[in-house]
Amino acid sequence: MAQIATGNTSITISSEDQREAFIEVFGRDYLKGFQDPIIFQNLSFFSPSVKSEYKHNFKVLSRCLFAEYVYRRRPQYNHALLDKFSALCATKLADIQKLLSMKTQQLEQTCSGNGVPIDASYLSCVNKTVPIIHASARQYIQCLVLLDRLFLVSGSAALNGVISAEQRKDVELKSKKAVRAFAGMIRIEAIHIRKEGQRLLKDAEGDIELGEAMQLQDQAIAEADAAESQQAASEQGVMLSESPQSDLEGIMAVSLAANAHAAKSAA
């Protein structure tokens, strides 16, 4: 049994629930040989956008991020490349958390200054037992929790008339784009670190763990591309009518720079 904390309440997660949560993210076959430590969190997601982000991106991010730990166990791997990857993830996620917290605080102050409560709610939620197998995966989940809170506060502010519908759409779109930009960046960076893994795999025949980690990365990137196409199609009317906002330029620049670097490497 695993103990996790949700707020101030300690919750016991059964071994069977742990296994099912792990299989949902990584698949049944990978469960057989997995021996790394895991943290499990029971979480509830409320807004449709956050539910979608978790569904389409958390599995992909977890698989891509976990490959870093597998690579680090190989002395022959270029660890400077992994250090750069880890630092980039931590920095960008911290930037996103700061952005979401700032936007939420501004909305809360607007409500408080106008004497209105934050009293909106959702009629349904998705409950998940989330397996955390990488530090950046935990940070990403924290971003989703913050994004969920922001949508709730912006909804309250709009319903109580202290911000307009256009202002609500603007702040929500900025915030959602910030979180999604990180997911895109990870897919690009995962390809970079995978290239070094391919080099090692050629010289280390029979390295089952390395081969499985790379296979999971391949599956994750393919699923991410399909999910991105699906999300773009469902949101085409909104996404094509908006341009990136100023407070997202720094975050989006990371993805643009990574794309340019990948193109240069391929050439």
DSSP class per residue in the chain: -EEEEETTEEEEE-HHHHHHHHHHHH-HHHHTT--S--EEEEEEE-SHHHHHHIIIIIHHHHHHHHHHHHHHT-TTS-HHHHHHHHHHHHHHHHHHHHHHHHHHHHHHHHHHHTT-------S--EEEEEEE-SHHHHHHHHHHHHHHHHHHHHHHHHHTTSS-HHHHHHHHHHHHHHHHHHHHHHHHHHHHHHHHHHHHHHHSTT-HHHHHHHHHHHHHHHHHHHHHHHHHHHTHHHHTT----GGGHHHHHHHHHHHHHHHHHH-
Model pTM score: 0.79
Strand partners, 90: none
Percent of the chain past pLDDT 90, that is, above it, reads 51
Per residue in 23-75, pLDDT tens? 988 788 778 778 899 999 999 999 999 999 999 889 888 888 988 998 898 88
In which residue ranges of the chain is pLDDT below 50? Answer: 1-10, 237-267
